[in-house]
Amino acid sequence: MLTKKQYDLLMFIHERVGETGVPPSFDEMKDALELKSKSGIHRLITALEERGYIRRLPHRARALEVVRLPENIAPPHRVSNPHLSVVQAPPPPMHSYAPPPPPQPRYLNTELRGAALTEVPLIGRIAAGLPIEAIEDRNNMVGVPSLMITTGGEHFALQVRGDSMIDEGIFDGDIVVIRKQDRAENGEIVVALVEEQEATLKRYRRKGASIALEAANPAYETRVYGQDQVRVQGRLVGLMRAY
């Protein structure tokens, strides 16, 4: 699931490229989304890039490529001009920006097959940008091996979107099991809410008043924030994958 701002920016870039063949400038994106600074646009672009919706082309000004759209939007196709490194698609229909719910996992790791299951809320995708408390839907549940559930804790599940944690063996489409908590130790993989807007799965490092959220993919840079900009939502305790 994309946040409203992430969706609006993606569609603004997509529509501008379709109209002119050139991505909009940071100032144009800032004005279109009514943001006060370009730093907010940078954060949104980074989030869209991590989730595989856009790609920044190196050594070129204003070089953004839309590589996919949300599932309920028509798939993109290349423009006919061979000199443009952009993607365009037909205009989107008027409907909700949220994609359909993620599928239930069909299989578990071999050693966990046949294990007793505990149902926990499957509250969406890790790309979701609202606080965990605001997006929880207990009508959508998933069976989790009881061995992944820690005694006395509250748990939820999220489906991973993007490849920013692939070096930790966490891939696009995986379902992660999260123990709900608001604190973390250095080195733990957590769901962190950044500036009350963007939820992300990263390794947590704290030094003094700064918090670093580390990706596990050299293609993505470590992001450093002030302690008042990051709120821990939970800690990774398990992972499930469909085969």
**Residue 81 belongs to a domain:** yes
40 and 120: one domain? no
Tokens 């993109």 locate to 76
Boundary (domain end) residue, out of 88, 123, 152 = 88
Coil vs helix vs strand at 89: coil
153 and 72: one domain? no
- Residues 25, 164, 207, 210: which is the catalytic one? 164
Q: What is the pTM of this model?
A: 0.57
80 and 180: one domain? no
**Residue 100 belongs to a domain:** no
Question: Does the annotation mark 164 as catalytic?
Answer: yes
208 and 151: one domain? yes
32 and 64: one domain? yes
pLDDT at 177: 92
84 and 119: one domain? no
Q: Which residue range(s) make up the domain with 190? A: 110-240
The dihedral formed by the CA atoms of 114, 157, 160 and 217, expressed in degrees to the nearest 10 = -90
Q: Which amino acid, residue 231?
A: R
Residues facing residue 204 across a β-bridge: 213
Which CATH number belongs to the domain containing residue 68 in this structure? 1.10.10.10
**Residue 18 belongs to a domain:** yes
CA 119 from centroid of its chain's CA atoms: 23
217 and 181: one domain? yes
175 and 79: one domain? no
**Residue 102 belongs to a domain:** no
User: Token pair for residue 129?
Assistant: 């940008």
Question: Does the annotation mark 96 as catalytic?
Answer: no
Beta strands in the chain (DSSP E): 54-56, 64-66, 77-78, 87-88, 117-125, 141-145, 155-159, 175-180, 189-194, 198-207, 210-214, 223-226, 230-240
153 and 68: one domain? no
DSSP 157: E
- Residues 36, 80, 202, 207: which is the catalytic one? 202
State which residues of the chain have pLDDT below 50.
Answer: 75-110, 128-135
158 and 44: one domain? no
- pLDDT tens-place string over residues 56-107: 776 555 678 888 888 765 544 444 433 333 333 444 444 344 444 444 444 4
d(CA 141, CA 155): 11
Which CATH number belongs to the domain containing residue 235 in this structure? 2.10.109.10
The tally of domains found in the chain comes to 2
122 and 217: one domain? yes
**Residue 105 belongs to a domain:** no
